[in-house]
Amino acid sequence: MFRETAIKEIEAIREQYPTARAALLPAIYVAQREFGWLSPEAYESVSSVLGVPRATVRGVATFYAMYKHRPMGRHLVQLCTNVSCMILGAEKLVDFLKNRYGLEAGGMSSDGRFSLVIMECIGACGTAPAMLVNNDFYENLTEKYIEEILEKYR
Protein backbone atom coordinates (compact mmCIF):
# COMPACT_ATOMS: atom_id res chain seq x y z
CA MET A 1 0.00 0.00 0.00
CA PHE A 2 0.99 3.63 -0.49
CA ARG A 3 2.90 5.62 2.08
CA GLU A 4 0.83 8.22 3.89
CA THR A 5 2.44 11.06 1.90
CA ALA A 6 1.43 9.51 -1.40
CA ILE A 7 -2.15 9.10 -0.22
CA LYS A 8 -2.21 12.77 0.77
CA GLU A 9 -0.78 13.70 -2.62
CA ILE A 10 -3.48 11.76 -4.46
CA GLU A 11 -6.20 13.24 -2.28
CA ALA A 12 -4.93 16.72 -3.15
CA ILE A 13 -4.98 15.84 -6.85
CA ARG A 14 -8.50 14.49 -6.44
CA GLU A 15 -9.61 17.97 -5.30
CA GLN A 16 -8.82 19.37 -8.73
CA TYR A 17 -11.57 17.36 -10.41
CA PRO A 18 -15.31 16.95 -10.05
CA THR A 19 -14.97 13.14 -10.10
CA ALA A 20 -12.55 10.71 -8.45
CA ARG A 21 -12.18 8.87 -11.72
CA ALA A 22 -10.59 11.93 -13.37
CA ALA A 23 -7.71 11.68 -10.91
CA LEU A 24 -6.83 8.23 -12.27
CA LEU A 25 -4.07 9.20 -14.71
CA PRO A 26 -2.23 11.40 -12.23
CA ALA A 27 -2.68 8.77 -9.50
CA ILE A 28 -1.13 6.12 -11.73
CA TYR A 29 1.86 8.44 -12.18
CA VAL A 30 2.18 8.69 -8.41
CA ALA A 31 2.02 4.89 -8.13
CA GLN A 32 4.68 4.47 -10.79
CA ARG A 33 6.98 6.86 -8.96
CA GLU A 34 6.33 5.24 -5.56
CA PHE A 35 6.70 1.61 -6.64
CA GLY A 36 9.15 2.14 -9.52
CA TRP A 37 6.74 0.42 -11.91
CA LEU A 38 3.12 -0.67 -12.02
CA SER A 39 3.34 -3.78 -9.93
CA PRO A 40 0.20 -5.61 -8.79
CA GLU A 41 0.58 -3.75 -5.50
CA ALA A 42 0.68 -0.43 -7.36
CA TYR A 43 -2.61 -1.21 -9.11
CA GLU A 44 -4.16 -2.35 -5.87
CA SER A 45 -3.10 0.85 -4.13
CA VAL A 46 -4.52 3.17 -6.79
CA SER A 47 -7.69 1.14 -6.84
CA SER A 48 -8.26 1.42 -3.12
CA VAL A 49 -7.40 5.12 -2.79
CA LEU A 50 -9.68 6.22 -5.65
CA GLY A 51 -12.31 3.54 -5.35
CA VAL A 52 -11.89 2.53 -8.99
CA PRO A 53 -11.90 -1.22 -9.77
CA ARG A 54 -8.46 -2.79 -10.20
CA ALA A 55 -9.31 -4.10 -13.65
CA THR A 56 -10.23 -0.59 -14.72
CA VAL A 57 -7.00 0.85 -13.38
CA ARG A 58 -5.06 -1.79 -15.30
CA GLY A 59 -7.15 -1.39 -18.44
CA VAL A 60 -6.56 2.33 -18.52
CA ALA A 61 -2.89 2.12 -17.59
CA THR A 62 -2.04 -0.36 -20.34
CA PHE A 63 -3.44 2.01 -22.98
CA TYR A 64 -0.73 4.60 -22.38
CA ALA A 65 2.89 4.31 -23.46
CA MET A 66 4.42 6.13 -20.53
CA TYR A 67 3.20 3.77 -17.85
CA LYS A 68 5.65 0.98 -17.13
CA HIS A 69 4.43 -2.53 -16.62
CA ARG A 70 7.72 -4.08 -15.64
CA PRO A 71 10.62 -3.07 -13.41
CA MET A 72 12.77 -0.33 -14.91
CA GLY A 73 16.43 0.64 -14.71
CA ARG A 74 17.48 3.49 -12.46
CA HIS A 75 17.44 5.91 -15.38
CA LEU A 76 15.02 6.01 -18.26
CA VAL A 77 16.44 6.82 -21.68
CA GLN A 78 13.74 7.80 -24.17
CA LEU A 79 15.13 8.17 -27.66
CA CYS A 80 13.02 9.52 -30.52
CA THR A 81 13.18 7.75 -33.88
CA ASN A 82 10.32 9.48 -35.67
CA VAL A 83 10.90 11.04 -39.10
CA SER A 84 12.70 14.27 -38.15
CA CYS A 85 15.08 12.37 -35.88
CA MET A 86 15.36 9.41 -38.26
CA ILE A 87 16.53 11.50 -41.22
CA LEU A 88 19.23 12.97 -39.00
CA GLY A 89 20.60 9.63 -37.89
CA ALA A 90 18.56 8.40 -34.90
CA GLU A 91 18.74 4.78 -36.06
CA LYS A 92 22.54 4.77 -35.75
CA LEU A 93 22.08 5.96 -32.19
CA VAL A 94 19.78 3.04 -31.46
CA ASP A 95 22.55 0.71 -32.68
CA PHE A 96 25.09 2.62 -30.62
CA LEU A 97 23.07 2.23 -27.41
CA LYS A 98 22.86 -1.47 -28.09
CA ASN A 99 26.53 -1.98 -28.82
CA ARG A 100 27.92 0.31 -26.18
CA TYR A 101 25.51 -0.26 -23.29
CA GLY A 102 23.73 -3.47 -24.18
CA LEU A 103 20.48 -1.55 -24.33
CA GLU A 104 17.73 -2.97 -26.50
CA ALA A 105 14.53 -1.14 -27.32
CA GLY A 106 12.14 -1.80 -24.45
CA GLY A 107 14.90 -3.43 -22.40
CA MET A 108 17.16 -2.77 -19.47
CA SER A 109 20.97 -2.81 -19.23
CA SER A 110 22.25 -5.85 -17.30
CA ASP A 111 23.56 -3.65 -14.46
CA GLY A 112 20.09 -2.15 -13.98
CA ARG A 113 21.42 1.32 -14.70
CA PHE A 114 19.35 2.19 -17.77
CA SER A 115 16.11 1.30 -19.47
CA LEU A 116 15.58 2.27 -23.09
CA VAL A 117 12.28 3.21 -24.67
CA ILE A 118 12.05 4.13 -28.33
CA MET A 119 9.72 7.09 -28.61
CA GLU A 120 7.44 8.55 -31.16
CA CYS A 121 7.95 12.30 -31.56
CA ILE A 122 9.10 14.09 -28.38
CA GLY A 123 8.81 17.61 -29.79
CA ALA A 124 12.49 18.35 -30.24
CA CYS A 125 12.52 18.05 -34.04
CA GLY A 126 14.40 21.30 -34.66
CA THR A 127 17.34 19.99 -32.67
CA ALA A 128 17.16 16.37 -33.81
CA PRO A 129 18.16 13.71 -33.00
CA ALA A 130 16.92 14.02 -29.44
CA MET A 131 16.19 12.05 -26.29
CA LEU A 132 14.91 12.44 -22.78
CA VAL A 133 16.86 11.01 -19.86
CA ASN A 134 14.44 10.90 -16.96
CA ASN A 135 12.96 14.42 -17.15
CA ASP A 136 15.71 16.16 -19.11
CA PHE A 137 15.88 16.86 -22.81
CA TYR A 138 19.12 16.28 -24.72
CA GLU A 139 19.29 17.46 -28.30
CA ASN A 140 21.59 17.47 -31.36
CA LEU A 141 22.81 14.06 -30.27
CA THR A 142 25.92 12.31 -31.49
CA GLU A 143 27.43 9.06 -30.21
CA LYS A 144 30.12 10.98 -28.36
CA TYR A 145 27.61 13.34 -26.82
CA ILE A 146 25.44 10.43 -25.65
CA GLU A 147 28.48 8.94 -23.89
CA GLU A 148 29.11 12.24 -22.13
CA ILE A 149 25.50 12.59 -21.07
CA LEU A 150 25.10 9.06 -19.76
CA GLU A 151 28.28 9.43 -17.67
CA LYS A 152 26.26 11.76 -15.45
CA TYR A 153 23.66 9.10 -14.71
CA ARG A 154 25.03 6.43 -12.42
Partner 1 sequence: MERVLLKNIENPESADINEYKKAGGYKGLPKALGMQPREIIDEVKKAGLRGRGGAGFPVAMKWTFASADPKFPKYLLCNADEGEPGTFKDRPILEKNPHILIEGMAISGYALGAEYGYVYLRGEYPGAKDVLNRAIAQAYEQGFLGDNIGGKGVRFHLAVHQGAGAYICGEETALIESLEGDKGQPRIKPPFPVNVGVFSKPTVVNNVETLSNLPYLIEIGGEAYSKIGSPDCPGPKIYCVSGHVERPGVYELPMGTSLKDIIYDHCGGMKAGRKLKAVIPGGISTPVLPPDKIDCPMDFVNMPKHGSMLGSGAVIVMDESVCLVKVCFRALKFFEHESCGKCTPCREGTGWLRKILGRIEHGEGVDGDIELLLSVAGNILGKTFCPLGDGAASVVQNFIKHFRPEFEEHIRAGKCMVNG
Return residues touching partner 1 (CB under 8 A).
Answer: 16, 18-19, 21-26, 28-29, 52, 59-60, 63-67, 78, 81-84, 86-88, 119-128, 132, 135-137
Nearer to partner 1, 48 or 127 (CB): 127
Closest distance of CB 112 from partner 1, Å:
22
Nearer to partner 1, 38 or 150 (CB): 38
Closest distance of CB 79 from partner 1, Å:
12
Q: Please give the biggest Cα pair distance in the chain.
A: 50
Nearer to partner 1, 62 or 110 (CB): 62
Nearer to partner 1, 89 or 102 (CB): 89
Closest distance of CB 71 from partner 1, Å:
18
Nearer to partner 1, 21 or 113 (CB): 21
Closest distance of CB 139 from partner 1, Å:
10
CA 34 remoteness from chain centre: 13
DSSP states of the chain: ---HHHHHHHHHHHTTSSSSGGGHHHHHHHHHHHHSS--HHHHHHHHHHHT--HHHHHHHHTTSTTS-SS---SEEEEEE-SHHHHTTTHHHHHHHHHHHH-PPTT-B-TTSSEEEEEES--S-GGG-S-EEETTEEE-S--HHHHHHHHHT--
Closest distance of CB 39 from partner 1, Å:
17
CB 74 within 8 A of CB 112: yes
